[in-house]
A and B are shown apart, each in its own frame.
Chain A
Amino acid sequence: MRYVRQIYPFNRPAELDSEERTHVPVIIVGAGPIGMAMAVDLASHGIRSIILDDDNKVSIGSRAICWSKRALEVMDRLGCGERMLDKGVTWNLGKVFFGERKEPIYGFNMLEEKGQQFPGFINLQQYYVEEYLIEAIEKQDLTDIRWESEVIAVQQSNNGATVSVSTPAGHYELDCDYVIAADGSRSPVRKMLGFEFDGETFQDHFLIADIRMKAEFPTERWFWFDPSFNRGQSALLHKQPDDVWRLDFQLGWDIDREAELKPESVSKRIRAMLGEELEFDFEWVSIYTFQCRQMERFVHDRIIFVGDAAHLVSPFGARGANSGLQDVDNLGWKLALILNGKAPASLLQSYNDERVSAARENILNSTRATDFITPKSEFSRIFRDAALELARDFEFARRFVNSGRLSVACIHHDSKLNVADLDVFNCKLVPGSPSIDAPVKVNGSQSWFLKLIGQQFTGVYFAKDGETTLQGATALLQDSIPVKTIVISNTSETETSVVEDHKGLLQQRLDAQVGSYYLFRPDQHLVARWRKFDPHAVREAVLHATMQPASGDSA
C-alpha cells in the first residue's frame, strides 16, 4: 500500500478581517511532531494554544523511524501510544556485521524487562506519528492549528510576546503569554532572536533510502562496518511498516551529491547490498550531513525552545524526536501550572536545567557513536577495527562497539525538584527518574501502572492487607495543586479504585513495603518517596517540586 500524503488547507484566519488582536496563552511555532505533541499536552492540562506552520503537510520522507519506550509512554499519555504500537514494527534484535564476512560478528537482544506495556523500540514512519497527532489535535477544541502560516517575527515584552505571521492571504499579528519555538533544526525563531546553536557538523554524508520491497529479512536492526558493498564505510538495514525498509549508506565527505542521488546509482548500491535480483520501489531518498548542536539555554523569558530547534543530534541512537517528546513531557505541566497561577515562572528554570542536561547527554552519546562509526583519525580507525575483531569472540569487546546507543529515558539525577531520600530504597528507580511500568489490575481488569500515574501529581501508596483507602489522601486532592492517590493492594477485592499489583512486579520494581508512599510528578518522574505516608511531607514535596517556598516560610 502506497502512503498518500494529505494536504492540510490554509484557512483564512479571523485576524485578517478584524481590528481586534487575538491573545492566546501559548503560540507554538512549527507543526512537527514536537510542536504538535506540545499542543496536545497543553490541551490535556486545559491550556489553549495556536500552532503556526509554514507548510501544509506532514514530514516528507520518514526521517525518524525508531521510537523509544519512553517516547511511546509519553505518546500514550497524549492518546497516541497504542496506535503507534499497533501500526509500528516491534523489534528487539540487532546484528553487527564487519568486513567481508557474510555472517554477523554478533547479535544482541535489547529486550527490556518484561511486564511493561511498551517494548524498548518500535519502528514507524514519522509521517504516521504526525498524522496521529493531527487527529489528536482535531479531537479537542483547545488547539487551533494553522497551516501555511509562516512566523516572520517574534517580539518579547515584559508580560508576553507578539508573533507576526505571513500567510498566502496577508500578514497579521497574535499576542500570547509564551511562545514555544518548535520550528526545527534551522529554527527561524532562534535566528530572529540571534541565539547561538553551538556544536559540530560531522565531515560525512549519509544516503538514506527508504524502499518498498517484499523481503524475508527478519525484523532486526542490521548494521555493517566496512562491508564489501560499501568499502571503508558503514551501512544499515531496518524494517518499517507497509513493507518499507530503511537503508542507510555512509558515503564519506568528498562526494558528488547530484550523482549519488540519481536513481541508477542508488539502485546500484541497493543491489550490491541486497542482491542483483532484488525488486523494489523507492519511497524516499535523501542525503544528510549530521550535526550535534544545542542552545546554551532553552528558556529565554517568554520564548521557550523544544525539539530540534533546541538541540540536534546525529540519528545514531534515535535520540532526536525521542528526546523532543521528553521535552514536551517535561514542559507541559510546568507551563500549565504557571499559566494557571499555581506555580511561579521560575519553575521554567527547571525545564531549562533538566532538558539542557538531557540534551548534553544525548549529544555525548550521539557524538561518541558518530566517532566510532566514522573514526576521525587513522589511529582511531585501527582501534575501532581491533574492537570489532575481538567482538566476534568476546562479549567484553562488544561493549565497545558503538553503532548508536539507543535512546533511553532520561533520569534527572541533579534536578532541584527532587527530594532526597531519607529512607532507604534499593531499586533502580531514584528521585528524578521516570517510573518503570508494571502490569496491574484496576477493579479486576488488566491495565498498566503508567496509565494510572501522571497528568497530575500522583501519590502511590502500598496498602496493608484489606486496607482500601488512605486516610488523609482526600484532603490532598483538595489542595491548590492536587495530589491524587493510588492505593495499591494485594487483595483482589473488587472495591472501587483499588489497584491490584497481582504479579507483585510493581512492589519489586519500586522496592515497596507495606506503608511505602511514592510521589510522582505529572510527567511520571519520581519526586520523593517515604516508608510511611505523611501528608505534611507530601505537601512540602509538592511545593518543592513546583519551586514554591516551604509552607513554614510563607508569612
Chain B
Amino acid sequence: MSSKILTEPRIEDPDDFYARLIAIHEGLNSEESQQLNSKLILLMANHIGDREVLDEALDIARNVQP
C-alpha cells in the first residue's frame, strides 16, 4: 500500500528547528513539557487535517507497519 505521509526531508535548516524544539521546553518540569508537547501535537494534527496522513503518523510512531 502506498503511503501518503511525506517522510523525505522537508524542513529547511533542521538543526535550527530541532534546537528550537528543545529550547521551548527549557525551564519546564516533565509534566509541563508533556503538556506543551500535547498542545503541539494537537496543533500540528489539525494543520495536517488529513486523516490518512495522521493515521500513518500514529502507526509509524507506535512502530506499526502501515
Q: Which residues of A contact B42 (CB under 8 A)?
A: 383, 386-387, 390, 396-397, 400
Q: Kindly list chain B residues whose C-beta atoms are within 8 Å of the C-beta of A383.
A: 38, 42
Which B residues lie within 8 Å of A389 (CB)? 35, 39
Which chain A residues lie closer than 8 Å to B46 at the CB level? 394, 396-397
Number of interface residues of B (CB under 8 A): 8
A382 and B34 form a contact (CB under 8 A): yes
Complex Cα–Cα for A555 and B19 (A)? 79
How distant is B61 from chain A, measured CB to nearest CB, in Å?
14
Does B43 interact with chain A (Cβ within 8 Å)?
yes
Q: Does A385 make an interface contact (CB < 8 A)?
A: yes
Q: How many chain A residues touch the partner (CB < 8 A)? A: 12
A398-412: CB near B (< 8 Å → 1, else 0) gives 001000000000000
- Give the docked Cα–Cα distance between A387 and B38 (Å): 8
Inter-chain contacts of B13 with A (CB < 8 A):
none
State whether the Cβ of B31 lies closer than 8 Å to any Cβ in chain A.
yes
Q: How far is the CB of B43 from chain A (nearest CB, A)?
A: 7
Question: Is A3 an interface residue when CB atoms closer than 8 A count as contact?
Answer: no
Which chain B residues lie closer than 8 Å to A386 at the CB level? 35, 38-39, 42
Name the residue in B34, B35, B42, B46 with the highest tally of chain A Cβ atoms < 10 Å from its Cβ. B42
Q: Give chain B nearest CB distance to A416 CB in angstroms.
A: 29
Instruction: Report the minimal beta-carbon distance from A391 to chain B, rounded to whole angstroms.
Output: 10
A382 touches B43 (CB 8 A): no
B19-42: which have CB < 8 Å to A? 31, 34-35, 38-39, 42
A13 to chain B, nearest CB (A): 59
Docked CA distance A383–B38 (Å):
5
CB–CB B39/A379 < 8 A: no
**Distance A385 CA – B34 CA, assembled complex (angstroms):** 11
CA distance A371 to B11 in the complex (A): 36
Decide: B43 and A390 in contact? CB cutoff 8 A: yes
**Most chain B CB within a 10 A radius of its CB, from A382, A387, A389, A397:** A382
CA distance A397 to B46 in the complex (A): 8
Residues of A within 8 Å of B34, CB to CB, are 379, 382
Closest chain A residue, CB of each to CB of B33 = A382
**Bound Cα distance from A225 to B24, whole angstroms:** 27
**Shortest beta-carbon distance from A155 to chain B in Å:** 51
A361-401 interface bits toward B, Cβ cutoff 8 Å, 1 = contact, 0 = none: 00000000000000000010011011101100010110010
9 A-B contact pairs sorted by A residue (CB < 8 Å): A379-B34, A383-B38, A386-B35, A386-B42, A387-B38, A389-B39, A390-B39, A394-B43, A397-B46
Q: Which residues of A contact B (CB under 8 A)?
A: 379, 382-383, 385-387, 389-390, 394, 396-397, 400
